[in-house]
Amino acid sequence: MQKKPYLSDWLIQVLYTAWRSFMSNELQNHAAATAFYFLLSAAPMALLVSYASQALALVAETSNLATILLAAFYDQFHLDRLMAMGFIPSSARVSAGGIGVLTLVLSSRGLVNAVHSAFRVIFPDGARRRLVTSWLLPLVIIPAVFSLVVLAFLAQGALTFLAEFDILGGYRNALLKSASTLLSLAAIWGLIFTAYWRLPLKSPGIRPAMLLAGLCTLTLAVLFAGFGRFFNIEQYRSLYGALGGVVFVLIGSYFACLAFYFWAQCLEALAKVDVAALENLVLGLKAANGNRLNALVFGRGDRLLAKFGRRFAAGEVLIREGDDGQEAFYLYSGQVELFKSTTGRPHKLGEMEAGELFGEMAYLLKEKRSASVIAKTETVALVLPPTMLEALMRFSAPLSRRIVATLSQRLRRMNQASAG
């Protein structure tokens, strides 16, 4: 078949498949749980930030660089606002620090477990992490992430501080501001990419993970820009009182988790969008998932034809008896005939019309081809590799039942032909 780009069809099908899986997996609930544990972790994290600022303030008394970093620290983490809102005390005690660290450890374990739980749903896999790994991972991830975030935001804040005070001149200050913004985005992208690439037990490709992490980063940037523009923390404080700041953080983190999990679901949908399209084609749109939107998204088979389609002239052999091939065929148009050699001569077993799947027996039984299939008319078929057939059977229970039923009928028909 002639190859043509069908990028728009592919993109729409990926987004639709991701959205459908997102809803069926109830990732809204996972996002709510993750946001809750993030809120629990936020308070001790803010307390630790206050400790760091106080330590930095002592150094700043004798160091200009420390003074710049301290100003950046206050600017990036909004310490003045956090103190005014009561999230962190203006002067922290060491005794409270131990409680903060213990709370951070416990809440961070819940946060990591919530993310793991969501990723097991998004990227289903029968395997499980080792018990020691599952217990130690939260203790390692959260401090590491916290340290990286602090360093990145400190560097970004220092660049912003230098740019605002016009120390280096006009265009250089503009470059510093741009570098500051890019550094923040790069830090967020790096964390998301690491999660997308390493948290699934069966790691996806590095390039798709990089791309989807970038899209998630941009989504979060737009989300928080819009959130800061259209929502005001003072409104929540006037409505909820002292809890207004908590509600504000909880809502913002919930939307951030929704975006994070949706793009993770898109990453998984990249691997199964062809499977979803083939399921709709083989079973029919109504049998597969009968609704108008589904029919609109998967109604055309052009993209599948461009990727898997092959044209056969009348009389051309699609499958030859005794061969080792294990590809499956979906008859898109035309007619084919089935032949099996009996007593040294080909015996016709029957014909197949458009819409039938055949050739799967060799893969399922791990045997050579049991019969020949020859095009009766000009024929177009989708040639599916064994990995795609396996994915189809794992993805679609109705399709698996149909394949088993068809295989049983075909075996009975061949046995009858051999007995005759």
pLDDT digits (tens, 9 = 90+) for 11-25: 999 999 999 999 999
Q: Using CA of residue 27, residue 116, residue 50, residue 185, what is the dihedral sign?
A: negative
- The 8-class DSSP code of residue 241 comes to G
Strands 336-342 and 379-384: unpaired
Q: Which pLDDT score is estimated for 246?
A: 72
- Please tell me whether residue 370 adopts helix, strand or coil conformation: coil
Q: How far, rounded to the nearest angstrom, does the alpha carbon of residue 136 sit from its chain's CA centroid? A: 24
Instruction: Tell me the per-residue pLDDT of 213-251, one tens digit each, with 9 for 90 and over.
Output: 999 999 999 988 887 676 666 666 666 666 666 777 788
Query: Which of these, 353, 219, 262, lies nearest to 27 by C-alpha position?
Result: 262
CA distances from 302 to 6, 94, 199, 282, 384 (A): 8, 67, 35, 14, 15
Mean residue pLDDT of the chain comes to: 76
Q: Which pLDDT score is estimated for 196?
A: 92
Indicate left, alpha or beta for 334 from its phi (over 0: left) and psi (-120 to 50: alpha).
Answer: left
Query: Which of these, 323, 396, 404, lies nearest to 360 by C-alpha position?
Result: 404
**Could you tell me where in the chain the CATH 2.60.120.10 domains are found?**
301-419
Q: Which pLDDT score is estimated for 318?
A: 93
Q: Which pLDDT score is estimated for 349?
A: 81
91, 97, 101, 104: CA torsion to nearest 10: -30
Percent of the chain with pLDDT over 70: 61
| pLDDT-derived band at 2, boundaries 50, 70, 90 | very low
Q: Which pLDDT score is estimated for 243?
A: 67
Half-sphere exposure in the Cβ direction for 164 (13 Å, CA): 11
Q: What does the pLDDT average to over 112-121?
A: 87
- Alpha-carbon span 330 to 399, nearest angstrom: 13
Q: Residues 188, 239: contact at Cβ < 8 Å?
A: no
Tokens matching residue 363: 């893969």
Tokens matching residue 58: 């002592």
Q: How far, rounded to the nearest angstrom, does the alpha carbon of residue 8 sit from its chain's CA centroid? A: 19
Q: Does the structure show a pLDDT above 50 at 285? A: yes
Q: Which pLDDT score is estimated for 362?
A: 84
Q: Does the structure show a pLDDT above 90 at 380? A: yes
- Alpha-carbon span 279 to 285, nearest angstrom: 8
Q: What does the pLDDT average to over 2-11?
A: 72
Task: Let me know if 308 is exposed, middle or buried by CB neighbors in 10 A (0-12, 13-18, 19+).
Answer: buried
Q: Which pLDDT score is estimated for 211?
A: 95
Q: Residues 125, 52: contact at Cβ < 8 Å?
A: no
Q: Does the structure show a pLDDT above 60 at 329? A: yes
State which CATH number among 3.30.420.10, 3.20.20.210, 2.60.120.10, 1.10.10.2520 fits the domain covering 301-419: 2.60.120.10
Q: Which pLDDT score is estimated for 99?
A: 55
Instruction: Tell me the per-residue pLDDT of 195-210, one tens digit each, with 9 for 90 and over.
Output: 898 888 778 889 999 9
- The 8-class DSSP code of residue 339 comes to E
Q: Which pLDDT score is estimated for 144?
A: 61
- Alpha-carbon span 401 to 393, nearest angstrom: 9
Q: What is the residue-wise DSSP string for 71-108?
A: HHHHHHHTHHHHHHHTSS-SS--HHHHHHHHHHHHHHH
Half-sphere exposure in the Cβ direction for 55 (13 Å, CA): 8
Q: Does the structure show a pLDDT above 80 at 148? A: no
The more confident residue out of 81 and 23 is 23
- Among the ranges given (244-253, 313-322, 366-375, 392-401), the one the predictor scored with the smallest mean pLDDT: 244-253
- Alpha-carbon span 379 to 360, nearest angstrom: 18
Q: Apex CA 241: angle with CA 240 and CA 242, to 5°?
A: 115
What are the phi and psi torsion angles at 350 (to 5°)? 155, -170
Helix residue ranges, H only, 199-332? 206-230, 233-240, 244-283, 285-289, 292-298, 302-308
Q: What does the pLDDT average to over 102-121?
A: 79
- Alpha-carbon span 359 to 22, nearest angstrom: 34
What are the phi and psi torsion angles at 314 (to 5°)? -60, 130
Query: Which of these, 12, 1, 13, 18, lies nearest to 264 by C-alpha position?
Result: 18
- The 8-class DSSP code of residue 126 comes to S
Q: What does the pLDDT average to over 301-318?
A: 90
Beta carbons within 10 angstroms of residue 44's beta carbon: 22
Q: Does the structure show a pLDDT above 80 at 77? A: no
